[in-house]
Amino acid sequence: MLLFDDYKKDILEEIKKIYSVSENDIDINGDYGDFTLKIFKFQNEKEEVYSKIKSTLNKDYIENIELQGNYINFFIKPGKMFNVVENSIETFGMYPNTFQDTSKALIEHTSSNPTGPIHVGRIRNSIIGDSIYRIINRFGTRSCTQYFVNDSGKQVISLYLGHVKYHKGEQMTVENLLDGYQKIYSNMEKDQSIKKEIQELDERYERGDRELISDIQKTASIVLESITASLEKLGIHISTYVWESNFILYGEVAALMDQLSEELKSEGNAKYLEIGDKKIFVTRQDGTSLYFARDLVYHMFKSQNFDWVIDVLGEDHKDHAKNLDYVLHNYLDFPSKIDYLFYGFVSLESGKMSTRKGNIITVNDLYEKTVEESEKIIREKRPDYPEETVNQISNAVASSSIRFNIVKINANKPLTFRWSEALNFEGDSAPFIMYAYARACSVLSRAGNSRESNSKYNEYEKNLIKAMYLYPYYLQSSVDFLRADIIAGYMLYLVKSFNEFYLNCPVIGNEEEYKRIRLLKAFKRIMEDSSDLLGIRLLEKI
């Protein structure tokens, strides 16, 4: 799929001609060489193996081959690696060059119930989902994102009823809707009639009462707009929204239930599927549909237009997804490739987050505080920057920091949100990356005319070249494992190699200026490329 050159394969092929080695015997990212061949199985004859390989392997890109312990390390000429990078950028405008796949992918992420503002727990879903979307797109599979709007079922009916009961006549706002929603749940325990009202509304809804559906959709829209606005602050744009109610309104849920009729079992009027020894209910006693049924319909819908479907889900959905997957493949002949990407819950130092108890940090709060902190630091460090620049930088820093701090952690790890970490702009952080980019831009802006020189690459230049050269490997594995954190780790590695280069290799006015400017141009391009995958907003000045 990728069109970049691969020395590893070439070296391996050559060695295979004389010794029986497999792909697992050779590593690309060793600390001791550019490629490392493990020769434990030739321990008794390693000198011989080494000299034979060394004399046989006559490649113009190999600078050196060394025997160290039970390893043979291959060193690639930096100039060769850099040519690969530079040629690709000059020819295709990017490195690595990828070609567009004909298949299409759909990443469903966020899909938060529109019953309140989005908080730092939910946003992990959006950040991971959006990054994966960008990564897959970059890799060459056309993709888009989708938000499944839950505008049916008890929760959103409660939201609607809360407004009717407690805020009737008021203009709908996120605040009074949330208040009504919380009141419904707290009063429900004392007042059984509320449950009944909800049930009646649900039945009307499922019968296709267009006026009610439209009212509820309107209610959900108000909250959804605030969620969308929060997402946009982080550069997260959802391509399409699919409203759950449409599947009910146009009879698709009912149609799917018909399709499944042979598999369905009854308990009274309620219907369920038996998966293993578990009963998965799809309709209630009163005939109304359950989330599982609607989600099945939604997935069949997704498969109509997409070859690859990816769901980004909280770990609490693991069982749901497992059951869903079972039904899709065993009863419904699901035609697309499907992957489920789970992420661990985000907790606060004070414990679990709960919208109803009110101990949440909303994305808007987080964003605001991060902007403030950033402004404070910029005013300290760059007192000469005009207000507009401070604003621009602090917004970019806030958006990038929030995203990076969350995406850099492996999704299946639990995460504790800490203000001290969220507001730290040093070390493994987005500003650390942004700062390196700004430095590179600053040097490039001063570049004059310089002549080519023939000197070899020093170790700092070589490390930077290698870090750039390896970008496709990280990109590939982040796609293979659907892990955006791999790109985050790569960026930190790339930036560290740049920082060492920057400190040790003066560019402007140096006799190596021409060569180093070329390195910086490539670095700049790869920084832009990889930052974009994570939604890090680079600026020429920071």
Residue type, 418: R
Residue 223 as a binder of RNA (CB under 7 A): the answer is no
Q: Of 45, 98, 35, 99, give the one whose Cα is nearest residue 70.
A: 45
Cβ of residue 91: shortest distance to RNA, in angstroms? 28
Q: Could you check whether the bond before residue 472 is cis, i.e. omega within 30 degrees of 0?
A: no
Residue 195 as a binder of RNA (CB under 7 A): the answer is no
Considering Cα of 53, then 58, then 60, then 63, what sign does the dihedral take?
positive
Crossing angle, helix 430-445 and helix 485-504, to 10 degrees?
40
Which tokens is 143 given?
């993709």
Strand pairing class (35-38; 71-76): antiparallel
From 83-91, 330-338, 449-457, 480-488, span contacting RNA (CB under 7 A): 480-488
Residue 443 as a binder of RNA (CB under 7 A): the answer is yes
Q: How many helices (H) and strands (E) does the chain have?
A: 20, 14
Residue 518 as a binder of RNA (CB under 7 A): the answer is no
- Which CB sits closer to RNA, 99 or 481? 481
Cβ of residue 494: shortest distance to RNA, in angstroms? 12
Residue 448 as a binder of RNA (CB under 7 A): the answer is no
Binding mask 97-116 for RNA (x = CB under 7 A): ----------------x---
Q: Which residues pair with 68 in a beta bridge?
A: 71
Q: Which of 155, 303, 399, 531 binds RNA (CB under 7 A)?
A: 155
Cβ of residue 508: shortest distance to RNA, in angstroms? 4
Q: Which of 496, 512, 514, 518 binds RNA (CB under 7 A)?
A: 496
Site for RNA in 396-415 (CB under 7 A): 397, 408-410, 412-415
Cβ of residue 488: shortest distance to RNA, in angstroms? 8
Q: In angstroms, rounded to a whole number, what is the distance separating the alpha carbons of residues 74 and 21?
A: 15
Residue 461 as a binder of RNA (CB under 7 A): the answer is no
Residue 424 as a binder of RNA (CB under 7 A): the answer is yes
Sequence-distant (6+) residues with CB within 8 A of 491 are 433, 527, 530, 531, 534, 536
Cβ of residue 146: shortest distance to RNA, in angstroms? 15
Measure Cα distances from 267 to 94, 285, 331 in Å.
59, 8, 20
Which tokens is 401 given?
């920091």
Binding mask 357-396 for RNA (x = CB under 7 A): -----------------x--xx--xx----------x---
281, 272 contact by CB (below 8 A): yes
Q: Which of 186, 442, 453, 458 binds RNA (CB under 7 A)?
A: 442
Residue 419 as a binder of RNA (CB under 7 A): the answer is no
Site for RNA in 297-326 (CB under 7 A): 315-320
Site for RNA in 224-283 (CB under 7 A): 267-268, 270, 278-279, 281
Residue 489 as a binder of RNA (CB under 7 A): the answer is yes
448, 502 contact by CB (below 8 A): no
Residue 153 as a binder of RNA (CB under 7 A): the answer is yes
Site for RNA in 331-360 (CB under 7 A): 344-345, 347, 352
Residue type, 83: N
Q: In angstroms, rounded to a whole number, what is the distance separating the alpha carbons of residues 481 and 172?
A: 43
Q: Which of 284, 369, 518, 521 binds RNA (CB under 7 A)?
A: 284
Measure Cα distances from 190 to 156, 178, 195, 197, 205 in Å.
20, 20, 10, 14, 25
Which tokens is 512 given?
């190596």
What is the total count of residues that contact RNA (CB under 7 A)? 92
Residue 330 as a binder of RNA (CB under 7 A): the answer is no
Cβ of residue 49: shortest distance to RNA, in angstroms? 14
- Which CB sits closer to RNA, 169 or 509? 509
Q: Which residues pair with 27 in a beta bridge?
A: 36
